[in-house]
Structure 1
Amino acid sequence: MSFITTLKTRLTGPQTSKRSNGSAASRAAPAKLEHPNLDELLVIPVSKEPHEERLRSYYFNKGQFLSRQERWEDLTQIVIDEDKHRNASGGGMPVAELLCQGARSDVVALAEHLLIDGAPEENRPLSEAISALENILGEHSDNHVIATIVAMAHLDIAWAWRGTSSIRDTPARNLEAFDLHCTRARQVLDPFCGIELDSPLVTSARCALLVGNPKAMDRVADDYEDLIDLAPTQQRHIRALGHHMLPQWFGDYQKLELEARRTAARTQDIWGAGAYTWAFFDALLVDPKCANTLDMPFFLEGIRDILERSEDQHNANLFASYTAVSIPKVAHLCDDDMQARSALEQIQKAAQWIMSEHLHELHPLVWGHAMEGFDNQARIASIDALFKQGREKANQVFMGVFGEQMRKGNALIFTPQGLYVQQA
């Protein structure tokens, strides 16, 4: 007996009927449950540390370890190999960038900690840590990997000063520090061309540094086109392009839509329509009114193409939580714009088919991150707290989308073949 046949038998149960006095007796409908027991009625595996998180942690920790041991030659060779082969996590995070994040993490964490305390410019340990990185660069002046680590450390520190608030809400001294660190980061990377090196790592870093470059407006689209063409399977770059095409940075809504469409055309053999969706993924959360320019059928087609091409459950959780949690959280910003609000509501409705057709393992950490709008700058108490927060939110969504079935006492069983409902 096949798996599907066995499962359907289990779900539907044996066919029985009751007769009394020669007439069929109808079965009374079960009373509705006011508070369904999700532990019994929601059947889906829960992963505390899915493959995506394990892979990210492994390479981040490896980069951190090698830098602490000052094994710069070993780190450089590993990063070059990973960059050359375009290796990335299922979520599109390049392994070379994960290694470099780990390598600079101690300095960046120190800066962030001191900024929370409020007086980083007066603290010797931070100056000494930055100087130590600069000294390593001086000893390896022709090493583009170490240059990228140092440049991105300066950029991370710049963002720690800058924060994610609007410019008008940021103190002048913080903006000055942001500009100084961005300027130094550009100086460090100036000798290296990512295209000549065939290096998505360097090209991505140069694109990230556009935010601190007053002359970036005319080159941002071309720079991102070069980057995406170097590593078209790494969707993180397409997401960054969409973000930087917003009016608050280097573009406008029409340019965002144009670049999303152009990128989708160039990467059609890899993503189908998916690149169009990736380009709008973060942009919609940062500025939901860009939904006015959205080609909704194309965007939804892109979600389907991405999920059909995904090899694990990361993207299923990503888009389920994106549509059910992140988009509703920003929709109120469009209360005065009915066209954008309507578009966002259509995206929210996609949660039901995404969860029914593609979700069969729950990753609460992704759902917790969705509650923060997938903002990597957001501060969390701990991974355990994020996991708990994400699990609770996912349960709320399951109740919101499938609650009527569970209130009838029906069990929802999420499988790789789709959602099955076991009648009470």
Structure 2
Amino acid sequence: MPLPSPIMTAAQSFFRHTSLPRLSVLSGKVSYMLRSRRPGRTRADRPDLDALSRRIILPSMPITDEEMARAEFQDRGLKLARQELWDQLAEAIHDADAARTATPGGESAALLLSFGARSDVVAMAEDALFEGTAPPSAGIDAFEAILTDAPDDYARAMIVAATHIDIGWAWRHAPDSPLTETPGARAAQFKAHFDRAADLLTRFSGLAENAPSLAATECALLAAQTCTDRNVADDFEDLIDLDPTSPRHMRALGQTLLPNRLGDYKRLELEARRTASRTGDVWGAGAYAWVYLDALALDAGALDLLDTDFFADGLRDILARCPDQHTANLLAAFCAVSMRPQDDTPHATAAIRASVQENLRWILSDHLHELHPLIWTQALHNPGQPSRLPSRRALISEGRQTALRAIASIFADDISDGSSIAFSPAGMYHLPSI
């Protein structure tokens, strides 16, 4: 699920009152050749990353095209639901599914419309559980009532089912309180809401409706399963085949196949390769990297079977097909933050992690020229997962600091003489000290 999106008026205010750094224009710029770092650096002579990060010249975008696009679809879904214009909302979801409409970063417009439509009801349930009280039933009961007017409409059924799924997750992650301390309370409520969601979707099929949003909601139901006689990847295969251009579905597959969910590392490796083979005409080797991306960030054990060369090829194929700055920031943040060294990592795993992190150098030098701080903050706090986060201003500040420190650590030797590194759409440049 995407990060909470800004209200449009707030976004416009941000643009009016935020000045972005300007890159210096130098004559006679030449391509910058990276120098290798000195081996054997000790703790005593490690660089001051905060000082070096001030010599990284990288424009920062506190609000991006991706966020604005997400906000537009979510706000539209919210507005139509508040006005009870269910026919218009259903038509918008049908149209978005049929056209495979997506944000610049590949998020499904139909899923964002659904997310916006149910956000009021889900927020009420989350707020109640946070306060230690039972969620009011009025909101979900009103949603159930909209199905009677159009029982054959998958869009309405999907919205209500997704609402139950979200409330089920809210119960699962509710803070401790007398309400949740009752033995089995969380599990019982989680199961009840997921069972109701499954009942609502029983008569529909994402494959039959040619509706990726419905297929994605069906896959979300798998979270309630503890064991299954069928290969859960079958549902994701149908979803990915319906909408192969969306990376979100492949990333969700990787998370679902982790051992603490419904898979294991061997199955993860197998499905990453199978998905890459099926989507080669769209992504090249990119699907292999997409399936592994969140799985690696959430579970270091997934590194053991990773083909690092194939993964690197996948990253290159992704950026060849999606050269936008959202994707460049996403992959750079993954390499820099999610794959940063861990003190307790076994030597063999540490070597694989370091090999994956080495991709950061060419992503920075060849593709990144604009910083999207919120992506870096999400990678730092909770990769691949929705989460309650601090204020937007704090997120932007932390994300920018995280990114600049990570970039400074990669190029510390190159700017230790007082020079700087600048990023622009034309490439990365070494600016000598004056």
Alignment of 1:126-205 (within 5 A): 126-163=136-173, 172-205=184-217
Within 2, Cα distance between the matches of 1:178 and 1:35?
A: 45
Question: In structure 2, what residue type is equivalent to 1:172?
Answer: G
- The answer (yes or no) to whether the contact 1:285–1:326 under 8 Å persists in 2 is yes
- The answer (yes or no) to whether the contact 1:264–1:273 under 8 Å persists in 2 is yes
Q: Give the structure 1 partner of residue 415 of structure 2.
A: 406
Within 2, Cα distance between the matches of 1:171 and 1:234?
A: 40
- The answer (yes or no) to whether the contact 1:277–1:303 under 8 Å persists in 2 is yes
Q: Give the structure 2 partner of residue 423 of structure 1.
A: 432
Within 1, Cα distance between the matches of 2:49 and 2:163?
A: 52
- The answer (yes or no) to whether the contact 1:290–1:340 under 8 Å persists in 2 is no
Within 1, Cα distance between the matches of 2:265 and 2:430?
A: 42
Alignment of 1:370 onto 2:379: yes
1:55-83 CA deviation, whole Å, 9 max, x = no partner?
Answer: 01111111001100111111111111111
Structure 2 residue runs without a partner (length 5+) = 1-24, 32-46, 176-180
Helix, strand or coil at the partner of 2:411: helix
CA-atom RMSD in angstroms: 2.3
Alignment of 1:43-122 (within 5 A): 43-120=57-134
Q: CA deviation at 1:49?
A: 0.9
1 or 2, which has the higher helix percentage? 1
Shift in CA distance, 301/35, structure 1 to aligned 2, threshold 3 Å: closer
Q: CA deviation at 1:219?
A: 3.8
Helix, strand or coil at the partner of 2:197: helix
Q: CA deviation at 1:164?
A: 9.8
1:156-188 CA deviation, whole Å, 9 max, x = no partner?
Answer: 1111111299xxx99621111111110000001
Alignment of 1:258-407 (within 5 A): 258-328=270-340, 331-332=342-343, 335=345, 337-407=346-416
State the structure with more CA Rg. Answer: 1
1:272-331 CA deviation, whole Å, 9 max, x = no partner?
Answer: 1110001111111221111111111000110111111114100110011111112227x4
Shift in CA distance, 164/257, structure 1 to aligned 2, threshold 3 Å: farther
Q: CA deviation at 1:408?
A: 1.5
Structure 1 residue runs without a partner (length 5+) = 1-5, 13-31
Shift in CA distance, 305/164, structure 1 to aligned 2, threshold 3 Å: farther
- The answer (yes or no) to whether the contact 1:158–1:179 under 8 Å persists in 2 is yes
Helix, strand or coil at the partner of 2:261: coil
Q: CA deviation at 1:216?
A: 4.0
Q: How many residues align?
A: 389
Q: CA deviation at 1:213?
A: 3.4
Q: 2:254 aligns with which of 230, 242, 245?
A: 242
Shift in CA distance, 10/338, structure 1 to aligned 2, threshold 3 Å: closer
Q: CA deviation at 1:138?
A: 2.5
Helix, strand or coil at the partner of 2:428: strand
Within 1, Cα distance between the matches of 2:52 and 2:266?
A: 48
Q: CA deviation at 1:215?
A: 5.9
User: TM-score normalised to the size of structure 1?
Assistant: 0.87
